[in-house]
Amino acid sequence: MTDSTSSGPSGPPWSVDVLADLHAGALDPELSAQLWPRVNADPEARSVIEALDVIKVELGQLGRAAPEPMPAHYAARLDAAIEAEAAARRGSVAPRAVRPPQPPPAAPVIDLAAARRRRKRVMAWGVGVLTAAAAAVAVAIVLFPGADSTGGNAVAARPPLQVDMDNPSAAIGSVRNERDYGPLENQQRLDECIRANDLDPATFQTIGVRQVMMDGKPGIYALLTTGKPGQFRLLIVEPTCGPGKPGTLANTVFPR
Amino acid sequence: MTAAASSDAALIAAHAAGDPRAFAELVRRHRDRMWAVALRTLRDPEEASDALQEAFISAFRAAGSFRAESQVTTWLHRIVVNACLDRVRRRQARPTVPLPETGPGEPASPRDAMSERETRLVVQRALAELSEEQRLPIIMVDVEGYSVAETAKMLGIAEGTVKSRCARGRAKLAKVLGHLRNPDADANVPGDAVDRRDVPIRRHWEGR
The order of strands in the sheet holding A217-225 is: A161-163, A206-214, A217-225, A232-237, A248-254
B42 pLDDT higher than 50: yes
Q: Look at chain A and count its residues.
A: 256
- What is the model's pLDDT at position A142? 36
Q: Do A20 and B167 touch (CB under 8 A)?
A: yes
- What is the model's pLDDT at position A176? 67
Q: Which residue from B minimizes the CA distance to A87?
A: B20
- What is the model's pLDDT at position A70? 94
Q: Do B32 and A90 touch (CB under 8 A)?
A: no
One-letter-per-residue 3-state SS of chain B:
CCHHHCCHHHHHHHHHCCCCCHHHHHHHHHHHHHHHHHHHHHCCHHHHHHHHHHHHHHHHHHHHHCCCCCCHHHHHHHHHHHHHHHHHHHHHHCCCCCCCCCCCCCCCCCCCCCCHHHHHHHHHHHHCCCCHHHHHHHHHHHHCCCCHHHHHHHHCCCHHHHHHHHHHHHHHHHHHCCCCCCHHHCCCCCCCCCCCCCCCCCCCCCCC
In this complex, how many residue pairs, one in chain A and one in chain B, have their CB atoms less than 8 Å apart? 175
Residue-wise pLDDT tens digits, A78-130: 999 998 888 887 765 443 333 333 333 333 344 444 444 544 444 444 444 44
Across A46-55, A113-122, B17-26, B197-206, least confident range? B197-206
Across A162-176, B20-34, B51-65, least confident range? A162-176
Task: Report chain B residues whose CB lies below 8 A from the CB of A67.
Answer: 32-33, 35-36
Q: Do B167 and A78 touch (CB under 8 A)?
A: no
pTM of the model: 0.56
Across A31-45, A70-84, B116-130, least confident range? B116-130
Residue-wise pLDDT tens digits, B156-193: 999 999 999 999 999 999 999 988 876 555 434 333 33
Average pLDDT over residues A39-67: 89
Q: Rounding to the nearest 10 degrees, give the CA dihedral for residues A234, A239, A243, A246.
A: -50
Q: Which residue from B minimizes the CA distance to A78?
A: B53
What interface predicted TM-score (ipTM) does this complex get? 0.76
Cα dihedral sign for A107, A111, A112, A116? Answer: negative
Which residues 6+ apart lie within 8 Å of A213 measured at CB?
A132, A135, A136, A139, A160, A161, A162, A163, A219
Residue A227, burial from CB neighbour count under 10 angstroms (0-12, 13-18, 19+): middle
Average pLDDT over residues B193-199: 33
Q: Do A82 and B24 touch (CB under 8 A)?
A: yes
- What is the model's pLDDT at position A255? 62
Q: Residue A146 gets which letter from DSSP?
A: T
